[in-house]
Structure 1
Amino acid sequence: MREQTKRTKTSGAKPKKRKKRISGRGWFYGIFFTIVIGIVCGIIGYLLIVLNGERILEENGSKLEFGEASIIYDAEGQEISRLYDYMDHREIAEFAEIPEVMRNAIVATEDERFYEHSGLDFWAIGRAVVKDVIARSAVEGASTITQQLAKNVFLSADKTFFRKATEASIAVALEQQMTKDEILTMYLNRIYFGKGIHGIKAAADYYFGVELQDLELWQAATLAAMPKAPNRYNPVNDPEASMNRRAVVLELMYKQGYITAEEKEQAKAVVYKAPARAEEMKNGSYQAYVDYVIEEAMEITNMTEEELRVSGLHIYTSLSQQAQKAMDEQYANDDNFEKSNDDQISQSSMIIIDHRNGEIKALSGGRYYEEKGWNRVDKRRQPGSAIKPLVVYGPALETGKYFPWTTLKNDKKCFSNYCPSDAWGAVPVTMTQAVKESRNLAAVWMLNEIGVSKGAAFAEKLGLQIEKEDRNLALALGGLTKGASPLEMATAYSIIANGGKSVDPHTITKIEGKSYKGYEYESPAAKQLMSPDTAWYLTEMMQSVVSKGGTGARAAIDRPVAGKTGTTQHGIPGLKGDKIRDAWFVGYTPEWTAAVWMGYDKTDKDHLLTKGGGQSAAALFSKVMLPAMKGVEKGSFGQPEGVKKEETPMKITNFKAEFVEEEVKVRLSWDPLDDKDITYEVYRKESGASDYIHFSDAVNPYVEDMSVFPGVTYEYYVLAYDAKTEKRSDPTTAITVSIPEVSLDLPDIPMEPVPSDPVETLPGEEGLPPETGGGIGNGGDGGLPIETDTPQNTEQPGTGNGEGATEPTPTPSTEQNIDQLLERLGDDGV
């Protein structure tokens, strides 16, 4: 029964299939035939590559094809530059002329295994693939020198799979037909070294003024550093970047055993100086603008500079030849710039942007740019007071609590541990006046009120780089670690000019080409980075800078202009005086914005500006912009609807200050204002003092100063304060009153002589007071800005109304004079 049950349970079950095990012999044959097939396919593929390369070489021979020149056009479609028409800048070198140090430098940098592979470096390809997979992007290339030669000689700059395969074919074929020395020689004669220079022989001559065979280690490393980015790593365009890249090449040469550690360090330390004959090899017009276009085109197309030049592209730009010629003409005039004591000339750069669409209309990289090649338009310098609208007044206005007519205090000299200086003294001013006259204390006080973080955030929205260490009150006066470039400053001011909307500066409007997909500029969606009201208020205030009495009055042209000057003092320890490190003017019309910087590339005690400052930069602005904008339709600054306007401001009139001789006092008077809540604040400064003091508060329109001393000069001004609105009027013009010296004329009284008690006289009493009192008023405004942007065309000092009585007054008696003088002196005596 039990057996029957067992049979019943198992009778319906399917028998399990046994897995067949592959024998060792099976594995062997499988792997063997796979390898064989792979080898066969590899051989066939390699033969196809070789045959294809051989065919291309046979069809093209050994000729060097330069490709089709890319062309740059201006805003009107007129050709301004061909990027590959530089045959005159090429010299063919023989292998024997190329020094070993140059060959080693280029091999160490471009193709470490050059002498080991046969055109394709499969080890390098595998390494690059692994790194790209890890990084999930293309971080390392694997092209050999032979592949680069194949690409440059026979191929266009497109980046298709077929082109890469063809490149490999030609590389293998070249290795079959040419020796390594021949390949390396052809490569060094072909590659581009920037500045329109092709070939190692011309490069040695242009950059160092030496014969190829005489190249030193540091020079060879400098040249070997350039093929990766010729426009960026050549020592003329960017000495610092070139020096850093040279150090990388030297490190590679050291690791690969070509040089010693001592040789490496010595070559790294050499500072490049361009030879005089570099000027003989200029190429093209508007070179700084063209260089900027090339950099922008490289970003757009993702091509190398060499590829860009040979791709036959048609690059259309926003260049205004009229504006560029006007700029070039002024930059060629040495009278516009301060004279130097040696061969390091004072420098400058300028850029013009149409803030309505972001198009860069013209730019200057510096004086004698073709010779020096350092494009200062995007190099950062300290902006000085030109930063005030961007970090102080703009963010203050944006809060809605402050307006151009708001009175700013500047009577506090130290804020925590920061003590800025200001030659104006402690005179409260409106925000507009603070901007017009570039008041330092008012700017620092204002930033302290709104907070440094708010000021920094506002400036960062406009494109400035504010470092962590910059976030202190020195920011109000342009204290930036890295500074700001003319391009950055022009962009920030363009946003103000554009009603607070973002601006995208660019030179390229369109790119076309047979083998290029094409590009047309599309402006990114505009962002409102500040309110239209804030932009309008800033424009209103900065128009006063260009008006009579403003620090930038010399920037005025035949259309509305707003702007701001800026200067930075030298900051060299132990050096006295007010010499200038950087001078700026950044300004705009309703159509275009421009930034001008002046200074020295390398500043020291012998290379500083000594005069002019922001005024010189403002003058250059007007000299360029006036002809540059000829024919550009004139507009006006648009006022936003509903913007809050200043109520009729309080103004004190008929202010007088006169010395009343018989009473030894100064009487101040003015016309009263029709408001019960008005009080009058009287400020006084005596000769020798640096600041005004708050002398008195009055409810009536007159004050008497009984505390004056003979022989001392005093200055007075008055402003009105409204307790309801907490507003202050503009201060009156200061009036100066000079108190005459007093001498005592005692009557002759017969007295017995007392030899032991000589008579003592009080000092300063050599003469009688004049018959009429009163002083000559000084219509000055309290001092000069601490930055050297002294207002231009300021009114001459006026005359106060303290000329004295018109009728003769009786001379007080000697006793009265003595009594009054002793009463004045009090317990302290003379």
Structure 2
Amino acid sequence: MPNDPLSRSNNRNSNNKSTKKAKPKTSKKKKITGKRVGWTLFFTMAIAIFCALGGYLFIMVSGENLLKANMDKTTINETSKVYDRNGQLMGELSIQKLEPVKEEDIPDLVKEAFVATEDKRFYEHQGVDIWSIGRAAVKDVMARSMVEGGSTLTQQLAKNMFLSRDKTFFRKATEVSIAMALERKYTKDEILTMYLNRIFFGHQRYGIKAASEFYFGVSDLNELKIWQIATLAAMPKGPSAYNPLSNPNDSKARRAVVLQLMYEQGYITKAEMDEAKEVDYDYTPPEKEQKYQAFIDYVLREAEKVTGKTEDDLNIGGYKIYTTMDAQAQTAMESAFSDDSLFESSKDDQQVQGSMVIMNHENGSLVALLGGRDYQTKGYSRVTQSRRQPGSAFKPIVSYAPALESGNYNANSPLSNEKQCFGNYCPGNLHGYSSTISMTDAITKSENIPAVWLLNKIGVNTGVQFAKSVGIQLTDEDKNLAIALGGLSKGTNTLEMAQAYSAFANLGEYQQAYSIKEIKDSAGKTTYKHDKSETKRVMSEQNAYSLTQMLQNVVNDGTGRSARLDRPVAGKTGTVQSGISGNSANRDVWFVGYTPEWTAAVWMGYDNPDATHMLKNSSKLSAAFFAKVMGDALKGVPVKDFKAPAGAQTPPPEKEPEQPTLSVSGLNGAYDPSTQTVSLNWTATGDSSTQYRIYRKETSEGQFTHLIDAVGSTSAQDLSALPGLTYEYYVTAYDLASGQETDPSNTISLMIEAEELEPQQPDTGTEPGTEPGTEQPGTENPDNGLPGNGGSEGNNGNGNENGNNGNNGNGSNGNNGGTGQGNGQTGEGNTPPGQGTTEPGGTGEGSNDGSVPTPGEVVTPPDSGNNGNSGETNAPTDSQAGTGG
């Protein structure tokens, strides 16, 4: 029964038993007694002491054995060797080490400088500084890697003499053992002397005496000045980064740290410290360089990056470095850079400099490079260390290539060529204006309006992203329309430009340039091998091929004719104007181009351009340099055509409007000695859209070149003819709407009689003290002017760069001379073109022969007038304003 008391009692008992069974059992804890703690501490200390004694004995024995076995050892392996792309030895990373200097010949201040900088407790420890090791260990643990050395001078000596440079705990223990053995065997001064005779100072110099002679020309260490001593003591921390020849600014900053330490430790006075901090390094070592030195130096920098090893490691590691250099190409480049006739002469000791890179666009390998004239080992390389504005050479990268990729444009697409502004940014053209112009003609003639208009249509961000995709380093400051004409905030260099154009040559595939194929260690084991992971497609094959065809037109018929070879060449010129009011000379000239085999970029200019250090020539100078080097580099290589993609097609041309019949005839001319002017006139058929082009050839020149462009009437004057010379002339008609040019008129020849009296110089705008008609600033610059538009290819300088197309703005008007100020009538743009005076060569850049270039382009860099405001909401910086070229 449910309510039975007995049943309820049994149920309770049953539940109680069940509960007791579920209760877990607990073990009895052992008590911690003093006896147990004592034994634990005893065994722990015993084990620790035993390990410490064992470790100490190992260090002692190991150090003694290593020191005894390697007493005469200064390097582990033979010097490393560098090979070209065919496996031929280029050179050795030779160690330049003079005889060791004796202890008594090392001044106390030299010793003190190194002690103060590298190991201030040197005279207190026994080879190992426990405090330094403890500090280093803490930093290593926090960083979870070996980041802090903690090495004493003695440890550094042990490492330099006997050990590899890898940072491992085992190597550190061995280093400590050798250091302690050295301390037991030698005195402190003997150790310091050995250290100073073996330490690495960069530029393959080992030892204090070798470094003193190389960097300062001082063989007697007692003659070293305080600032020189501190400079040497600054180098062990980073021989490549802190040597004064390669990095004078960083060296000076590090020297100041050393001087501060010397002062704080009482080795020099404050006055001595302050005086030594201010000295600038200006010594040039009289060193005869081995061949291919510039390429070898580039290889070393790349090797440091890809292997993580230091220059010191690579110098004495016994490595075999196999590179991509082509010996014939590098020799051709070095020969050209040593030929002064290929560079414009300078007024003083600051010479015109240059930089060139050649790369194989099929695989990205560097073929040849050189970063300057009179290059020295580990010297300043303009290949990577100099950044300059590229002018019109940037148009294909930021405007035309991305426009083709958008799918909305092709080589025959009509682009706007009307005179116009984009917001506050008002670029100008050299060859006048028209309603439209084809993309091919716009590139060939290097017109500015189409390039800016096109970038505005596709969007600045689109252009910027494409430029970045082909390796150009841009910032947010570059997001404006001025970049269409090469107005970059920080500029670029020949390495980046060669890489970018290589994508056009390689049917749209971009590959980052490299110089090392493989590195093997002293045992023959491969430690590094290049792969092709950097390859990426940035354009379709068809668009890249179409751009190549257009860039071929630039070389064949446009501004780059000086780059022509006996094989196919495509490329683009770039000229950057001075940016100085009243100075129509040029700051930078470029040519970037390629053959079916290789891509190359050339830059020329002054390292420190100012009003008196500008180029008179345009980019025909760099284009001719390209032709010279590439012609010699490819000598003996079979000629081939550019590779076309499968099923490549040329876009159908836009339907051309019916053209008027044009002809030019009846050219005649006469020379007036009183004004030193050649007057030309002719008869022609045409209408208001017809302009005329005058061509001239001096008898010593190989071919005719443009003299005057955009002449609207049937007469013109040549103010640049020089007495005593004979000139030939002819005229063509040019239809602005169609872009068609007629056959030449009849040719006339005029002998300019020499005058006994010095003729009065015409107002050519040349610099004081120069003869009229000579190559003065601007004579090679087709775009130096556009009054009211600031000159070259779209620079709104409000008349600062006068001479071109005076009808286009608020400055003095000229007819394409582009050489100076005041060449024509002053007005507000109402003077018809062709009424101003003209200097020779004012019609363009890139001509093949003679003193005058073909139609071309020029750009104005920083501070060139009132230009630079883009069509975007943000105006560009001064450095971006109005650049083109």
Query: Under a length normalisation based on structure 2, what TM-score does the superposition of the two structures give?
Result: 0.71
Q: How does 1:108-507 map to 2 (within 5 A)?
A: 108-157=116-165, 162-210=170-218, 211-247=220-256, 249-250=258-259, 266-275=275-284, 278-279=285-286, 281-370=287-376, 373-379=379-385, 380-427=387-434, 428-507=436-515
Task: Classify the secondary structure of the residue corresponding to 2:209.
Answer: helix
Alignment RMSD: 4.1
> In the aligned structure 2, how far is the partner of 1:36 from the partner of 1:504?
60
The amino acid across from 1:615 in the alignment is K
Whether the 8 Å CA contact 1:438–1:787 is kept in 2: the answer is no
TM-aligned CA deviation for residue 561 of structure 1? 0.6
Which range moved further: 345-354 or 420-429?
A: 420-429
* 1:262 Cα offset (Å): 6.6
- Structure 1 residue aligned with 2:621, among 605, 616, 626? 616
Q: Which amino acid aligns with 2:246?
A: N
Matches within 5 A, 1:555-704: 555-572=563-580, 574=581, 576-611=582-617, 613-640=618-645, 641-647=647-653, 650=656, 652-655=659-662, 682=689
Distance 1:718 1:511, change over 3 A: closer
Q: Residues of 2 paired with 1:320 and 1:657: CA distance? A: 51
Aligned-pair distance for 1:312? 1.2
Name the aligned partner's letter for residue 230 of structure 2: A
| TM-score of the two chains, using structure 1 as the length reference | 0.76
The Cα shift of 1:619 comes to: 0.9
Contact residue 242 and residue 250 of structure 2 kept, 8 A: yes
8 Å CA contact 1:681–1:718 kept in 2: the answer is: no
C-alpha displacement at 1:72, in angstroms? Answer: 0.9
Distance 1:271 1:79 in 2: 38
1:647-678: CA deviation from partner (whole Å, max 9, x where unpaired): 2752725226999xxxxxx99966xxxxxxxx
Aligned residue type for 1:602 = N
Counterpart contact for 1:317–1:510, Cα < 8 Å: yes
1:528 corresponds to: 537
Asked if 1 retains the 8 angstrom alpha-carbon contact of 2:76 and 2:163, the reply is no
Deviation string, structure 1 residues 117-137 (Cα, Å, up to 9, x no partner): 333334333333433443444
**Contact in 1 for aligned 2:77/2:522 (Cα 8 Å):** no
Write 1 or 2 for the structure with the bigger share of helix.
Answer: 1
What is the rounded CA distance, in whole Å, between the counterparts of 2:381 and 2:439 in structure 1? 36
The residue that corresponds to 1:46 in the other structure is: 56
Alpha-carbon distance in 2 for matches of 1:497, 1:792: 23
Gap change, CA 1:424 and 1:591, over 3 Å in 2: same
CA distance in 2, matches of 1:25, 1:54: 43
Shift of 1:239: 2.9
C-alpha distance in structure 2 between counterparts of 1:371 and 1:11, whole Å: 90
Q: CA shift at 1:195, angstroms?
A: 2.2
CA contact under 8 A between 1:157 and 1:310: conserved in structure 2?
Answer: no
Deviations 1:406-449 (A, max 9, x none): 23334334322223344333244322222222223332222222
Mapped partners of 2:147, 2:841: distance in 1: 53
Give me the whole-angstrom Cα distance separating, in 2, the residues matched to 1:488 and 1:369.
20
Q: 1:7 to 1:489 in 2, by over 3 A?
A: closer
Aligned partner of 2:776 in structure 1 is none
* Contact 1:437 1:785 survives alignment (8 Å): no
Q: Measured at CA, do residues 474 and 518 of structure 1 come closer, stay the same or move farther in structure 2, by a change above 3 Å?
A: same
The aligned amino acid for 1:569 is: Q
Q: Which residue of structure 1 lines up, in the alignment, with residue 78 of structure 2? A: 68
> For each residue in 1:602-635, what CA deviation from the matched residue of structure 2 results, as whole angstroms up to 9, or x when unmatched?
2222322222x31111111111111211233332
- Partner Cα separation in structure 2 for residue 607 and residue 627 of structure 1: 30
1:193–1:234 contact (8 Å) kept in structure 2: yes
Measure how far apart 1:509 and its partner are.
Answer: 1.2
Match of 1:747?
Answer: none
**Retained in 2: the 8 A contact 1:425–1:783?**
no
Q: Which residue of 1 aligns with 2:67?
A: 57
1:459 CA displacement: 0.4
CA distance in 2, matches of 1:479, 1:526: 28
Deviation at 1:50, TM superposition (A): 1.6
Query: Per-residue displacement from partner, 1:63-97 (whole Å, max 9, x unpaired)?
Result: 534632111111222212111353xx424223344
Distance 1:258 1:682 in 2: 82
Contiguous gaps of at least 5 residues in structure 1: 660-665, 671-679, 696-704, 721-728, 737-776, 798-830
Whole-Å Cα distance in 2 between the matches of residues 658 and 330 of structure 1?
44
Check 1:244–1:562 CA distance in 2 against 1; reply closer, same or farther (3 A cut).
farther
Post-superposition shift, 1:492?
0.7
Task: Supply the distance in 2 between the matched residues of 1:346 and 1:466 (Cα, whole angstroms).
Answer: 27
Larger-Rg structure: 1
Deviations 1:449-468 (A, max 9, x none): 22221111110001001111
Between the aligned partners of 1:796 and 1:328, the Cα distance in structure 2 is 28
2:75–2:316 CA contact under 8 A, matched in 1 = no
- Post-superposition shift, 1:158? 5.8
Distance 1:230 1:607 in 2: 34
The answer (yes or no) to whether the contact 2:371–2:381 under 8 Å persists in 1 is yes
- 1:566 partner SS: strand
CA deviations over 1:454-505 (Å, ceiling 9, x no partner): 1111100010011111221221222222211111111111111111102131
What amino acid does structure 1 have at the position aligned with 2:78? E
CA gap of 1:594–1:796, structure 2 versus 1, over 3 A, is closer
Per mean C-alpha deviation after superposition, the further-off stretch among 198-207 and 436-445 is 436-445
1:655 and 1:669 in contact (8 A); partners too: yes
**Aligned pairs, how many?**
703
Indicate the SS of the match to 2:510: coil
Distance 2:74 2:450 in 1: 67
Match of 1:789 among 842, 845, 857: 845
Alpha-carbon distance in 2 for matches of 1:667, 1:383 = 42
Distance (Å, rounded) in 1 between the aligned partners of 2:848 and 2:93: 46
Deviation track 1:311-332 (CA, whole Å, cap 9, x = no partner) reads: 1111111221111111111111
Q: Unmatched 5+ residue regions in structure 2?
A: 1-8, 667-681, 693-707, 718-731, 746-832, 854-885
Deviates more, 1:76-85 or 1:308-317: 76-85
Percent of aligned pairs with the same amino acid: 47
**Following the alignment from structure 1 to structure 2, what is the Cα–Cα distance between the partners of residues 115 and 36?**
33
Q: Could you tell me how far apart the structure 2 residues matched to 1:13 and 1:322 are?
A: 93
Q: Which residue of 2 aligns with 1:544?
A: 553
Q: Give 1:113 deviation, angstroms.
A: 4.1
